Structure 1
């Protein structure tokens, strides 16, 4: 996706993209681990709906200090999108990352431009799949968290969810309490599995990376009878997504881990 072109179209007010306003104001900032902040932005009207649907993202546009051109990045909100008046983002700071550095530097009452509906996300319909597998790496957890809460908080949706989240170290599991609460509230419907590449001594989480063996071990083999109609969502670093979903290139495309596990392309969606 050409984000610059999308942003230019959105700011011009063309097409289906809608500006919340010229800007949204930072209401609060909370450091949730060593490199991730929860940023809460107030919408212009406290009664204004977010206008978001499940898995949809917002496009953030800002002008970091010393920059002539805007920096544009999409983020998936992690707040309840049915509650009006605010948007919450989890933003991981990347060394040298213009937008993440700028967002982490914001103080309450600072503002950025925010556009909703870009990218549009996956169109979720309740009960369209009996089971979904959510496979995330690092900050790629945000669309998975939004989708998980949306499914489980809808009394009409009976979809079962298995979440596998790969991180570098234990503090990177910054939504552990939220997921634990959902596991207790929805036993038998939601399960979270954490895979840590560099766990702390005595860590209770599995050591390693999200690979074929891990997915098979947690019951996500696509050839199992119970997974015939499973929908798999993937979001994470490019290398992880390529390993899971395969790579296209010259000659014969390279199949990914999910294909090896028996999933078809139609069963897999990359955020």
Structure 2
């Protein structure tokens, strides 16, 4: 357990953290690195949980949205958010305007996901778009813990190739842990010569790429609401009971 005094998040009060580095990853995605008060500070966010970020929208009104960092508590002194900025998004506006040296108000942790190493034999993960962030965080925590032997089977859906968030990081995890983690990418508008999945995540894809229903597995879901609904229906039809599923 981290020393309580060095944990930075407060579930009741917003705290401000300074943006020290902003890296544009694509035309509408950027990575934001925020400093914690000291180089030894930890954010204090349990695996798979999120935090509330507060900003100002286009009209100058307060807006609060949940985000999951891509970093873990083992990353001391800072945390990172990978943010996709939507043209009409209220919080997207705030992140678009943020410059290095600005502060972000954050509160947390929040979320129902509780993880203990060895809780399940394997996770199946169904992610869409920015829904990859909690999956990435859980996968990293599992794979970087030498005592945790859980396997990870991720299906990650996006519209186009350039929409795939954290692709480099995901591919690095699969190359470092080839026997522990697999990723199957699905694109609605694939480029020519694409060898991954095409369209939306189907029942057949889940059958091929995820662990079969069993008491010692869990399927995690995170994506836009229509996708979450479709995935819940697919899983039910395939025999995954509610105890075998979790939606972020």
Secondary structure class of the residue paired with 2:26: coil
Structure with bigger strand share is 2
2:194 aligned to 203, 219, 227, which one? 203
The answer as to 2:248 corresponding to 1:257 is no
**What is the total number of aligned residue pairs between the two structures?**
239
Shift of 1:53: 1.2
Q: Which residue of 2 aligns with 1:73?
A: 65
Q: RMSD across aligned C-alpha pairs, in angstroms?
A: 1.6
The equivalent of 1:51 in structure 2 is 44
Q: 1:129 to 1:262 in 2, by over 3 A?
A: same
Tell me by how many angstroms 1:108 deviates.
0.3
Deviation at 1:185, TM superposition (A): 1.6
Q: Is the 8 A contact 1:50 1:82 kept in 2?
A: no
Instruction: List aligned pairs for 1:160-239, cutoff 5 A.
Output: 160-222=151-213, 227-239=214-226
Displacement after TM superposition at 1:158 (Å): 0.5
The residue correspondences of 1:35-184 to structure 2 (distance < 5 A) are 35-64=28-57, 66-67=59-60, 69-117=61-109, 119-184=110-175
Distance in 1, matches of 2:182 and 2:12, equals 35
| Deviation of 1:176 (Å) | 1.9
Give secondary structure in 2 for the equivalent of 1:32. strand
- 1:190 to partner: Cα distance: 0.7
Alignment-derived partner of residue 5 in structure 1: none
Q: Is the 8 A contact 2:186 2:199 kept in 1?
A: yes
User: Distance between the aligned counterparts of 2:33 and 2:224, measured in 1?
Assistant: 24
CA distance in 2: counterparts of 1:98 and 1:262, whole angstroms:
39
Measure, in 2, the Cα distance between the counterparts of 1:44 and 1:55. Answer: 23
1:17 is matched with which residue: 1, 6, 11? 11
Asked if the contact 2:45/2:72 (under 8 Å) is kept, the reply is no
Q: Distance in 2 between matches of 1:161 and 1:269?
A: 15
CA distance 1:167–1:175, shift in 2 (3 Å): same
Q: What corresponds to 2:3 in structure 1?
A: none
Structure 1 residues 121 and 39: alpha-carbon distance in aligned structure 2, compared to 1, 3 A threshold: farther
Whether the aligned pair in 1 keeps the contact of 2:33 and 2:78 (CA below 8 Å) is yes
How far apart are 1:106 and its partner, in Å? 0.6
Change (3 A) 1:20 1:83: farther
Deviation string 1:215-255 (CA, Å, 9 cap, x unpaired) is 12325443xxxx4521010000000001111xxxxxxxxxx
Cα distance in 2 for partners of 1:152, 1:19 equals 32
CA–CA distance in structure 2, aligned partners of residues 177 and 137 of structure 1: 17
In the alignment, is the contact (CA less than 8 A) between 1:20 and 1:44 conserved in 2? no
TM-score, normalised by the number of residues in structure 2: 0.91
Q: What does the per-residue CA deviation read over 1:136-177, in whole Å, with 9 as the maximum and x for residues that have no partner?
A: 000000000000000011111100110110011111223222
Distance change in 2, residues 1:64/1:111 (3 Å): farther
| Residue pair 1:129, 1:229 contacting (<8 A) in 2 also | yes
Unaligned runs of 5+ in 1: 1-15, 246-255
